[in-house]
Structure 1
Amino acid sequence: MDYKTTGVSSWYYDERKNAGVDYTDSKIAAEYDIQHSRFRDFEKDARLIMEKLELKPEHTVIDFGCGTGAFVIPTARLCRKIYAVDISQAMLNRCLEKARAAGLSNIEPHCAGFLTYEHKEAPVDAIVSVVALHHLPDFWKVVALKRMYDMLKPGGRLFLFDVVFSFSIGEFQSKFENWVSGMLNNVGQEMAEETIIHIRDEYSTFDWLMDEMIKRVGFKIEQKFSDFPFCLTYLSIRP
């Protein structure tokens, strides 16, 4: 399964560019769950997402940036079908290994991104994106959000969780220093270095910009909350 490039204009943003940690690396993909479980509870997160989206057995779902399948696997146990989308074949492979081990056959994998995935079936009931949209610059975030909007049924919901900054611009120095030192003290050197890479090279933005991007493409924000430092969750509906 190759990364989807057919029909993409030469001026399109290439999501395979490594602005940050290279999750296409099979070694990094193999260690992802262990590294991130030090500060994330994958099972708890998946339950929260499914509850917020009010998922039902007849529903279909797209997971953009599905990674190793932390949300895909429990959702596939409940819902009719889930489309697992990620630019990293290495991450998708880990997801599919888990699916086979669980005996699940209702997962459709796509090695593609926000900008290149083509949904050729009926609009879905829900879309999920967890710590993935920040890999795109803001212009392309808007394009991605509009594409997701168009893939949803009227009344369908988007669950978006990502690194989004809600502090004032004058605080950025102290906030980032505290973030890095907190990761170093609580999780370790490797994750502290990943945090530095994220701040320096990736495209997380302010909440007032993210709010407007979500609303501008047509979504109505139903909930916006934070239960994780430097991150925000948006639950939005296509009217």
Structure 2
Amino acid sequence: MPRSDPARSLPAWYFSEYAPVGIDLGSRAAVAAYDRNQGTDPLADDALLDRLGVTDGTRLIDLACGTGSLTVQAARRGAVAHGVDVSAEMLAFAKARADRFDVAPQWHHAGFLDYTHQGPLADVVTTKSALHQLPDFWKQQALVNAAEMLRAGGFFYLWDVIFSFEASSAETHLRDWIAAAGRPDGEGFTRTDFETHVREEFSTYAWIVEGMLRRAGFDIVSRAFPRPTHAEFCCRRR
């Protein structure tokens, strides 16, 4: 699981992706619990891959791939799949998942900001439930980096905790979300997990993300806001 550029020296002011905020995922048990809580669903992964036109030979990069479900499903249908994550424990879990299905995606111990793709540009770049780990300045840099690894006309897919409510109603929406989404310990992400997300992580407004996507070189093909706290963007590289 190579780092993208292990010899690269980053300036002292550079954001540290390797000390992620929010939920601690530094142990094997924590990663296994995360996978359960996230509700990993290969059928949902396949439905998304169908929407993005991922077939045999498609070059796909999954940024912040986590436990590797989407990356593995892409490899199972013959895609040239790359999974990128800052967590060595996540990548170990993902590799074990790939081994169970006898596929071999390429795994990279790297982040949104320092991953440097080698080889042909990707046809599809995806990221789910992870961009909120970066403050807005660094989100923009991450999106620029994602665009640079994607061919013209290729697809970029983003799903995350992104807010579509008005700022004036933020407290009401966040309180309702935390109350509805929190589960008892051992049955999913807890109320404390969601409180930590809001307090310590960097989810932002949809109108900010839309501007970032356009400035990074993407045209927004579709957007969806299934809940006031979540959003999906499917974009095409200009």
TM-score for the superposition, normalised by structure 1: 0.92
Q: Does structure 2 conserve the Cα–Cα contact (< 8 Å) formed by 1:68 and 1:91?
A: yes
1:93 paired residue number: 92
CA displacement at 1:58 relative to structure 2: 1.6
1:135 paired residue number: 133
Relative distance call for 1:142 and 1:215 in structure 2 (3 A) is: same
Looking at structure 2, the residues matched to 3 and 179 of structure 1 have their Cα atoms a distance apart, in angstroms, of 37
1:203 paired residue number: 202
Show CA shifts across 1:141-176 (max 9, x none): 000000110100111110100110000001111111
Relative distance call for 1:44 and 1:15 in structure 2 (3 A) is: same
Given the alignment of the two structures, is residue 69 of structure 1 paired with residue 65 of structure 2, yes or no? no
Q: Does structure 1 conserve the Cα–Cα contact (< 8 Å) formed by 2:54 and 2:79?
A: no
2:38 corresponds, among 36, 39, 42, to: 36
Task: Give the AA of the match of 1:130.
Answer: K
The alignment yields a C-alpha RMSD, in angstroms, of: 1.6
Looking at structure 1, the residues matched to 47 and 228 of structure 2 have their Cα atoms a distance apart, in angstroms, of 17
Deviates more, 1:42-51 or 1:110-119: 42-51
Q: Does structure 1 conserve the Cα–Cα contact (< 8 Å) formed by 2:184 and 2:190?
A: yes
Q: Does structure 2 conserve the Cα–Cα contact (< 8 Å) formed by 1:15 and 1:113?
A: yes
CA displacement at 1:2 relative to structure 2: 7.0
Identity of aligned residues (%): 29
CA displacement at 1:80 relative to structure 2: 3.1
Summarize the alignment of residues 1-239 of structure 1 with structure 2, pairs less than 5 Å apart: 1=1, 5-7=6-8, 8-37=10-39, 42-105=41-104, 107-184=105-182, 187-189=183-185, 190-228=189-227, 230-239=229-238
CA displacement at 1:47 relative to structure 2: 2.3
Looking at structure 2, the residues matched to 81 and 22 of structure 1 have their Cα atoms a distance apart, in angstroms, of 30
CA displacement at 1:92 relative to structure 2: 0.7
Tell me the number of residue pairs that the alignment of Structure 1 and Structure 2 aligns.
Answer: 233
Relative distance call for 1:183 and 1:222 in structure 2 (3 A) is: same
Q: Does structure 2 conserve the Cα–Cα contact (< 8 Å) formed by 1:3 and 1:87?
A: no
Which segments of 5 or more consecutive residues in structure 1 lack a partner in the other structure? none
Which segments of 5 or more consecutive residues in structure 2 lack a partner in the other structure? none
Looking at structure 2, the residues matched to 229 and 170 of structure 1 have their Cα atoms a distance apart, in angstroms, of 13
